[in-house]
Structure 1
Amino acid sequence: MDTVAADTAVGAAREAHPNQFALLRQRRFAPFFWTQFAGAANDNLFKFAFTVMVTYQLQVAWMPPAMAGLVIGALFILPYLLFSATSGQLADKFDKRSLILFVKWLEIGIMLLATWGFFTADVVVLLACTFLMGLHSTLFGPVKFAYLPQHLDERELTGGNGMVEMGTFVAILLGQVAGGLVVAVPAIGPQAVGFCCVALALIGRLVAHAIPASPASAPDLRINWNPVSETWRNLKLAHGNIVVFRSLLGISWMWFFGAVFLSQFPSFAKEVLHGDAQVASLLLVVFSIGIGAGSLLCEVLSRRHVEIGLVPLGAIGMTVFAVDLYFASGALPPSAGLTLGQFVGVAAHWRVMADLALLSLFAGLYSVPMYALIQLRAEPTHRARIIAANNILNALFMIGSSVIAGALLKAGCTIPQIFLLVGIANALVAGYIFLLVPEYLIRFVAWVATHLVYRFRVRGEEQIPVSGPALLACNHVSFVDAVLLMAASPRPIYFVMDHRIFRLPVLGTLFRLAKAIPIAPQKEDPAVYEAAFERAAQVLRAGDLLAIFPEGGITRDGQLQPFKGGIMKVLERARAEGVQPPVIPMALTDLWGSFFSRVEEGNAMVRPFRRGMFNRVGLNVGAPVAAGQVQPQVLQQRVAALLAG
């Protein structure tokens, strides 16, 4: 019952903080958010100002202007490959607040050195600072993403990640804009950049002081200082949880996808859109706003759960708008060099900007749930090392994107053609990942059903435990009851279902992908009957959620049918395995008479619009019942009360 009390407290906290923006008023999140915001802004202010300086203001014989951006970008990414594994260990071993404070002191030192480099126009010193700022970000990355699940509950994790993702891209945008403006100030530009960098580092350190303590998750961990062997060990550690590992690959692909677009914006603006440097900056602004909007939208669309059903939706949008960007670019009228005002005055250019905005918005929908899933599913004792493995893969994929984009350009591909190829590749990669991890596809179907087919409302969802085994007992009204329960739960559910439903063309495939457990009457098929109860006990022993429909079949008259004794047999098998899971009563409401339910005058799934569109349906979740107190009649009374209320 301790778990029940904890879940009740989580529900109360959720009601007290109704959305992700409320986190900015809380000490557990606000200082951390503004610390990472200042750090991301400083990274990009420094990098962009330095790039502009060596491109336009200095003559460096051994680094031509065309190579400056590539060299600076490569030096910044290199520490991710070299030191991510070590930083992941440090984040698991030590208090995260202490590490954040250390990283901010390091940032101050680097920026003081960079200021000297700006004053003396010493490119070598500034290149060294670029590498050190990459190291600073490498150390901060695992701490950042391991901090969130330590201070946010499951229902806040998507919103928290959305805020961080939005904040990061806004900080990148503001940092680059500020860097370009400040470094261009006549006579004192580079020196002013140095002072701004130091000021931002000091602000970040002052704000970080308010971050609450975050105890180490693995204080006894022995540090392996060999980056090569530890990198390999981290990747193997991540591979131990196949859903998490494939989610890491999915996030890394998103960075590959995004890096292709971001790296080509200057050339795209000049060669395809015929715009000046301000047009290239506009593309960056539109892309950043799109990512931020998509990241914030995740919480609204997920009902404050970790909703990985948004990932396929994001992948579809990324492909659709990347492909449309190719066609929009090919339809542009020829023109001479355009200023920003002239560019936005052409109607055809608005389609290009809309494609970029929507493409990046869907990228936000794609990435945020994946980050939240990794944080939720990774073991706390090595969560930071999993994040470190993610950073390593991200760096490799970003480097790969540069190599492949360069090879395509050398082979004669135009920039719009590269966007088209990446969009098509995104569809193939996403499809492959979703086949490997069907949970994404299943949750997507559940999300569509509860947003586009039904208007679905859940009451008492805080009663569904976010960890540990539990048995869900629900009335059976339609052929999509299991889909609706999936949508209501933050965790995967294993269903015990009538074996005949697996014969249905679409639903049968869906439930097989969901690893539903078929059950047949004992007289009809004793082997399937026994195997179902054995598998059900294994699910509960593994600490997962199991759902059963105690009526034994879909109602034919819309009324609650007598509960059968199968639920008692499940509990007996679980007890024999040493598990006594709580039983959560549930009641689906207003489904009777809809397309997927039977009706008195006929079968299910006839006359699709017999109740119109977007039917209001609901799920009422009751308080858990201890396993020792469960009886079919008692449970039926609980479900009946939920139906009435």
Structure 2
Amino acid sequence: MVRGKGCCVRSGDKSEFGAGSRRVRLRDWCNSSCLFWLSVLRTLCKRGSCRMGQGNHQEKRLVSLSAESADRPEQLWKDRSFQGMTATQFLGAFNDNLFKQLVLLICIDAARQTGGGDVYQPVAQALFALPFVLFSGFAGYLSDRLSKRRIVVVCKGVEIGVMLAGMYVFLSARSSFDPSLALLLCVLALMGTQSAFFGPAKYGILPELLPDHNLPAANGIIQMTTFLAIIFGTAAAGYGKDLLQEDLWLLCSGCLAIATLGTLTSLLIRRTSPAQPTLQFDPSSLLVNRDTWKMLVTDRTLFGVLLISSLFWMIGGVLLPAVNAFGKNQLGIGDSRTSIMSASIGFGIAAGCALAGKLSRSRIRFELVTAGAWGLVFGLCCLAGIGLVDYETLPVEWIAWLLLVELGVSAGLFVVPLQVFMQTRPPVGHKGRMIGAMNLINWIAILAASGFYYLCAVLLSPVSWTFGVLAAAVLPVAIFYRPAHRIGCS
């Protein structure tokens, strides 16, 4: 093996890509295939998070592919490995949200046909969340035991198989335009399983690729591009459903192509060593590892951040189906406009994540969590009040879009400091399991959100009153959550 400062060449390694020249050609082809849309993402994100560094850099130097290339925040986008990770998670989030939103819209149609209430959306949400509850702890163990880069690549390969299964379901129902809802829900559960194993490696690999002082900027970019993917994926589901109608398998074929591209971009990520290669399996890893639980019990700040993060995701788990029902049932608009309404939340979150990364200035600022919480309370209260106005005298749909964007900005400010803290607080050998525990608690909250939304759909009319209940849930955080210290990332 020959090592330079910025590269690593294995002269005798033919196990993964073949001979050296073929490996180089494959990597060059992967790079060129991703060049266009990576440049688009760079343009979208550069102003939001990549200019956090201070001072002028007068020396121009070549930037290697090693971790040293990310020592300055403004050089994040010159790190090919960070580009690959950003691209990979963007494409995965796009696919997840496109397919999930498509299934949720089909669930609303199925509920209308049966004449019942909005009962299928909570079932779909629960089936998507259940794999995270079952496997997040074990996924966290694997992300510490194995190379996180390897887990990312394998998960992207599995995503190709899941998208093939989804395309088959729609192809089999092409003649009757009646895709089996049960089969679609099974595919959605498989997608949730793949994402459950992807999550701890996705977030845990960032501290291995980047220095700690770059993590706020990097997380701002990752969160922003994730929610850009939510925007595009959610909107594409509504437009695709309206446009293709009897040929929804074509939409899934697009998902298959995106999953394949995401697998290629994952190859750009440089190899990382396992954090704890000798870590022994403990049955408690299926839930929360004993060491992780002990750390949470003794570190009250960490435990508090975990609980606040889970509340955020519970609210998100209620908000998405509520907005879908609000658009289609209360406002009476179509799939495309309803999906744009849902996507407007992601647009706001992308802006909020970029703003949080810029305001953090290489530090974790919990005051952003407080500001975001008050913004959430305001937006949710205003959305609840929409149920009292006359739809014929006010442009309710436009007002709802603006309020949902405001909700998204507030959510971005709220979540980024929490995410960075969960990455930097645990020791190196525990980061994967801690993030796995965070995912587990978050998805238990999302699973609970499915039941909570079902109760709201049955008991509250109109559906906009659900937003008022969510505002009441966030209000205690806005009033009482005041961490006394500001923690740096150095």
How far, CA to CA, are the matches of 1:13 and 1:92 in structure 2? 37
Query: Are the aligned partners of 2:326 and 2:463 in contact in 1 as well (CA < 8 Å)?
Result: yes
Alpha-carbon deviation of 1:370? 0.8
1:39 partnered with 2:92: yes
Could you say if the C-alpha distance between residues 206 and 429 of structure 1 is closer, same or farther in structure 2, counting changes exceeding 3 Å? same
How far, CA to CA, are the matches of 1:127 and 1:408 in structure 2? 22
Could you say if the C-alpha distance between residues 253 and 406 of structure 1 is closer, same or farther in structure 2, counting changes exceeding 3 Å? same
| Secondary structure of the corresponding residue to residue 156 of structure 1 | helix
Could you say if the C-alpha distance between residues 184 and 42 of structure 1 is closer, same or farther in structure 2, counting changes exceeding 3 Å? same
| Secondary structure of the corresponding residue to residue 488 of structure 2 | coil
| Secondary structure of the corresponding residue to residue 205 of structure 2 | helix
1:100 partnered with 2:152: yes
Query: Are the aligned partners of 2:387 and 2:462 in contact in 1 as well (CA < 8 Å)?
Result: no
Superposition CA RMSD, Å: 3.4
Query: Are the aligned partners of 1:299 and 1:305 in contact in 2 as well (CA < 8 Å)?
Result: no
1:446-503 Cα offsets, whole Å, 9 max, x none, are xxxxxxxxxxxxxxxxxxxxxxxxxxxxxxxxxxxxxxxxxxx7269xxxxxxxxxxx
1:389 partnered with 2:426: no
How far, CA to CA, are the matches of 2:110 and 2:454 in structure 1? 27
How far, CA to CA, are the matches of 1:74 and 1:285 in structure 2? 21
TM-score by length of 2: 0.76
Which one has the bigger strand percentage?
A: 1
1:83 partnered with 2:135: yes
TM-score by length of 1: 0.59
Query: Are the aligned partners of 2:201 and 2:432 in contact in 1 as well (CA < 8 Å)?
Result: yes
- The aligned residue for residue 367 of structure 2 is 309
1:155-177 Cα offsets, whole Å, 9 max, x none, are 32111111111111221222233
- The aligned residue for residue 190 of structure 1 is 248
Question: Residue type matched to 1:265 in 2?
Answer: V
Question: Residue type matched to 1:420 in 2?
Answer: G
How far, CA to CA, are the matches of 1:60 and 1:216 in structure 2? 51
Alpha-carbon deviation of 1:299? 2.1
1:332 partnered with 2:384: no
Alignment of 1:146-157 (within 5 A): 146-157=204-215
- The aligned residue for residue 294 of structure 1 is 352
Could you say if the C-alpha distance between residues 331 and 38 of structure 1 is closer, same or farther in structure 2, counting changes exceeding 3 Å? same
Could you say if the C-alpha distance between residues 60 and 380 of structure 1 is closer, same or farther in structure 2, counting changes exceeding 3 Å? farther
Query: Are the aligned partners of 1:53 and 1:190 in contact in 2 as well (CA < 8 Å)?
Result: no
- The aligned residue for residue 258 of structure 2 is 200
How far, CA to CA, are the matches of 1:118 and 1:348 in structure 2? 35
Could you say if the C-alpha distance between residues 491 and 134 of structure 1 is closer, same or farther in structure 2, counting changes exceeding 3 Å? closer
Q: Which among 131, 156, 168 is matched to residue 116 of structure 1? A: 168
Alpha-carbon deviation of 1:431? 3.6
Question: Residue type matched to 2:216 in 1?
Answer: T
- The aligned residue for residue 438 of structure 1 is 484
How far, CA to CA, are the matches of 2:448 and 2:81 in structure 1? 37
Alignment of 1:234-633 (within 5 A): 234-270=292-328, 272-273=330-331, 275-327=333-385, 329=386, 332-335=389-392, 346=394, 350-412=398-460, 414-434=462-482, 437-439=483-485, 443=486, 490=488
- The aligned residue for residue 597 of structure 1 is none
Question: Residue type matched to 1:438 in 2?
Answer: A
1:592-617 Cα offsets, whole Å, 9 max, x none, are xxxxxxxxxxxxxxxxxxxxxxxxxx
Structure number with higher relative contact order (C-alpha < 8 Å, ≥ 6 residues apart): 2
Query: Are the aligned partners of 1:20 and 1:299 in contact in 2 as well (CA < 8 Å)?
Result: no
Query: Are the aligned partners of 2:137 and 2:433 in contact in 1 as well (CA < 8 Å)?
Result: yes
Could you say if the C-alpha distance between residues 279 and 126 of structure 1 is closer, same or farther in structure 2, counting changes exceeding 3 Å? closer
Query: Are the aligned partners of 1:82 and 1:227 in contact in 2 as well (CA < 8 Å)?
Result: no
Unaligned runs of 5+ residues in structure 1 are: 1-10, 336-344, 444-488, 493-645
Q: Which moves more between the two structures, 161-170 or 87-96? A: 161-170
How far, CA to CA, are the matches of 2:104 and 2:475 in structure 1? 34
How far, CA to CA, are the matches of 2:106 and 2:381 in structure 1? 36
1:389-420 Cα offsets, whole Å, 9 max, x none, are 11111112122233334334444464443322
Alpha-carbon deviation of 1:308? 2.5
| Secondary structure of the corresponding residue to residue 452 of structure 2 | helix
How far, CA to CA, are the matches of 1:153 and 1:18 in structure 2? 6
Which one has the bigger helix percentage?
A: 2
How far, CA to CA, are the matches of 1:18 and 1:288 in structure 2? 30
Could you say if the C-alpha distance between residues 285 and 50 of structure 1 is closer, same or farther in structure 2, counting changes exceeding 3 Å? closer
Alpha-carbon deviation of 1:66? 4.6
Could you say if the C-alpha distance between residues 190 and 19 of structure 1 is closer, same or farther in structure 2, counting changes exceeding 3 Å? farther
| Secondary structure of the corresponding residue to residue 211 of structure 1 | coil
Alignment of 1:35-74 (within 5 A): 35-52=88-105, 66-74=118-126
Could you say if the C-alpha distance between residues 306 and 196 of structure 1 is closer, same or farther in structure 2, counting changes exceeding 3 Å? same
Q: Look at both structures and tell me which one has the larger radius of gyration over its CA atoms.
A: 1
Could you say if the C-alpha distance between residues 130 and 215 of structure 1 is closer, same or farther in structure 2, counting changes exceeding 3 Å? same
Question: Residue type matched to 2:231 in 1?
Answer: L
Q: Which among 21, 25, 38 is matched to residue 78 of structure 2? A: 25
Alpha-carbon deviation of 1:39? 1.0
Alignment: residue pair count: 422
Could you say if the C-alpha distance between residues 330 and 54 of structure 1 is closer, same or farther in structure 2, counting changes exceeding 3 Å? closer
1:154-209 Cα offsets, whole Å, 9 max, x none, are 33211111111111122122223333434555586233133222211110111111
Alignment of 1:127-142 (within 5 A): 127-142=185-200
Alpha-carbon deviation of 1:113? 2.9
Query: Are the aligned partners of 1:157 and 1:306 in contact in 2 as well (CA < 8 Å)?
Result: no
| Secondary structure of the corresponding residue to residue 400 of structure 1 | helix
How far, CA to CA, are the matches of 1:383 and 1:45 in structure 2? 30
How far, CA to CA, are the matches of 2:111 and 2:254 in structure 1? 20
| Secondary structure of the corresponding residue to residue 362 of structure 2 | coil
How far, CA to CA, are the matches of 1:42 and 1:348 in structure 2? 30
Question: Residue type matched to 2:87 in 1?
Answer: W
Query: Are the aligned partners of 1:37 and 1:168 in contact in 2 as well (CA < 8 Å)?
Result: yes
How far, CA to CA, are the matches of 1:355 and 1:184 in structure 2? 25
| Secondary structure of the corresponding residue to residue 363 of structure 2 | coil
How far, CA to CA, are the matches of 1:60 and 1:141 in structure 2? 36
Q: Which moves more between the two structures, 172-181 or 361-370? A: 172-181
Could you say if the C-alpha distance between residues 250 and 293 of structure 1 is closer, same or farther in structure 2, counting changes exceeding 3 Å? same
Query: Are the aligned partners of 1:72 and 1:127 in contact in 2 as well (CA < 8 Å)?
Result: yes
Could you say if the C-alpha distance between residues 223 and 324 of structure 1 is closer, same or farther in structure 2, counting changes exceeding 3 Å? same
Could you say if the C-alpha distance between residues 22 and 262 of structure 1 is closer, same or farther in structure 2, counting changes exceeding 3 Å? farther
How far, CA to CA, are the matches of 2:205 and 2:369 in structure 1? 23
- The aligned residue for residue 282 of structure 2 is 224
Question: Residue type matched to 2:484 in 1?
Answer: P
